[in-house]
Amino acid sequence: MDTENTEEMKEKGKNHAALTVLPDEKDLRLDRWIKRHFPGVTHGQLQKWLRTGQIRVDGKRVDSSHRLDDGNRVRLPPNLLEDPAFAQKTVPGKGRPIRNPEKLKSFILFEDEDVVALNKPAGLAVQGGTGLKENLDDSLMALSLDGVTRPKLVHRLDRDTSGVLLIARNDFAAAKLTAAFRARTTQKVYWAITKGAPLRDEGMIEEPLIKSGQIMRIAEDGDDETLVKSATTLYQVVERAHRKAAFIALWPLTGRTHQLRVHLASIGAPIWGDPLYGPEIDEEDCDFPIAELGRGLHLHARRLIIPHPRRGMIDVTAPLGPVMRKTWRWFNFDEKADVSFDDPFRKRGRR
């Protein structure tokens, strides 16, 4: 869920901290949000804090089932962030830091005192979860400038998606970047190779999404409207391999979970190697020599343009990794293609 992390602020005269709910955390129950950020907090402890008003949302008392909205500020008990029993992100069986945190530095595309942009490889989880051997979030101290201030995620990429991932090095930068993502003053360009190709060379896909079990799908009449999320994606076909495959650039104007994957599948062009939304590929019946192509999901966060927290703009481009480059070269697609979207394009026809 392309995701942003938390803004951390101290309330004057108190040791309470306030965290800002990010766009991809919208509609999470409060108890699940707390568990995501503080795995060590027990149900009983949470209920006590809610009962005594030590946890509040936008200054108001709520219960554990309260649904959060992006931009909400969740007040937390004194010193919660600093207490290792609660604030640690990793619990047994839920994922570990990268085995060699120094490896993170080899992913750096851009850095200054406020921001680090990484080229995240496919297969690396951004945050911990059941069954994950390692994750990026628990290794972010390797990017700290002073060894004390913990860098923060300000958005997310799916585990199997590669490309530009932005990290804030301080609270000020986290707040500014989070606000930029929430206000959509950013442009995120993704590259994909699809099995099949759209009929049109460019278009806009406006299909609302809803969660169905562990996956997302296009919403239908009769679905619970409170669970349906609007979703809009711009796309351009950069190059075609006849009608059998295509190199496509995408700009998600919204940031829903698996949005690009579901939207492309909905127009008959699922992303190559997508185990959830693409068809199974039989090597014997396939039109391409699968052994000569890269494995895995062919979705790459190619470019991110976003206001810098203090000055100007950040404009970062991530080169393709070796696995995806293998497929690009087999199709003879241009791995350095210059693709851009502009505002007038938003108003053109649909798919």
Residue 96 has pLDDT above 50, yes or no: yes
Tell me how far CA of residue 131 lies from CA of 92, 243, 265, 351, in angstroms: 10, 38, 27, 38
Which is higher by pLDDT, 53 or 2? 53
* φ, ψ dihedrals at 178, nearest 5°: -60, -45
pLDDT for 8 equals 39
CA gap 308, 158 in Å, rounded: 24
Select from 23, 6, 19, 28 the least CA-distant residue to 254. Answer: 23
pLDDT classification of 97: cutoffs 50, 70, 90:
low
Select from 338, 38, 70 the least CA-distant residue to 178. Answer: 70
- Mean pLDDT on 331-337: 93
Tokens of 153: 């995620």
pLDDT digits (tens, 9 = 90+) for 238-248: 999 877 899 99
Q: Which amino acid is at 37?
A: H
* Cα first-last separation, the chain: 23
Residue 151 has pLDDT above 50, yes or no: yes
- Mean pLDDT on 244-253: 94
| Annotation marks residue 158 as catalytic | yes
pLDDT for 9 equals 39
Spatial neighbors of 65 by CB under 8 A, at least 6 apart, are: 29, 30, 31
Looking at every residue in the chain, the average pLDDT score rounds to 83
Which is higher by pLDDT, 265 or 146? 265
pLDDT digits (tens, 9 = 90+) for 157-166: 999 999 999 9
Residue 347 has pLDDT above 70, yes or no: no
pLDDT for 348 equals 42
pLDDT digits (tens, 9 = 90+) for 192-238: 999 989 999 999 999 999 998 889 999 999 999 989 999 999 999 99
Task: Please say whether the beta carbons of 98 and 136 come within 8 A.
Answer: yes
pLDDT for 309 equals 95
- Domains of the chain, start order: 1-88 (3.10.290.10), 92-180 (3.30.2350.10), 187-346 (3.30.2350.10)
Tokens of 345: 């394009």
CA gap 187, 252 in Å, rounded: 8
Tokens of 336: 């350095």
- Mean pLDDT on 23-49: 82
Tell me how far CA of residue 11 lies from CA of 17, 46, 51, 66, 68, in angstroms: 6, 20, 20, 23, 20
Q: Which residues pair with 67 in a beta bridge?
A: 29
Spatial neighbors of 148 by CB under 8 A, at least 6 apart, are: none
Percent of the chain past pLDDT 90, that is, above it, reads 48
Q: Which residues pair with 234 in a beta bridge?
A: 204, 251
Tell me which of 70, 137, 158, 274 is the catalytic residue. 158
CA gap 325, 319 in Å, rounded: 9
Task: Please say whether the beta carbons of 128 and 137 come within 8 A.
Answer: yes
Tell me how far CA of residue 187 lies from CA of 35, 162, 315, in angstroms: 31, 17, 9
Spatial neighbors of 20 by CB under 8 A, at least 6 apart, are: 6, 7, 71, 72, 73, 74, 175, 178
Q: Given the DSSP bridges, would you call strands 299-307 and 187-195 parallel, antiparallel or unpaired?
A: antiparallel
CA gap 30, 35 in Å, rounded: 9
Spatial neighbors of 338 by CB under 8 A, at least 6 apart, are: none
pLDDT for 2 equals 40
Tell me how far CA of residue 63 lies from CA of 32, 76, 82, 226, 261, in angstroms: 12, 14, 24, 19, 35
Q: Which amino acid is at 267?
A: I
Task: Please say whether the beta carbons of 251 and 234 come within 8 A.
Answer: yes
Q: Which amino acid is at 136?
A: L
Where is average pLDDT lowest: 98-107, 114-123, 277-286? 277-286
Q: What is the DSSP string of 100-141?
A: SGGGGGGGEEEE-SSEEEEEEPTT-BSS--TT-S-BSGGGGG
pLDDT for 40 equals 75
Q: Residue 132: is it exposed, middle or buried by C-beta count within 10 angstroms (0-12/13-18/19+)?
A: middle
pLDDT digits (tens, 9 = 90+) for 277-327: 987 665 555 666 666 787 899 999 999 999 999 999 999 999 999 999 999
Residue 91 has pLDDT above 90, yes or no: no
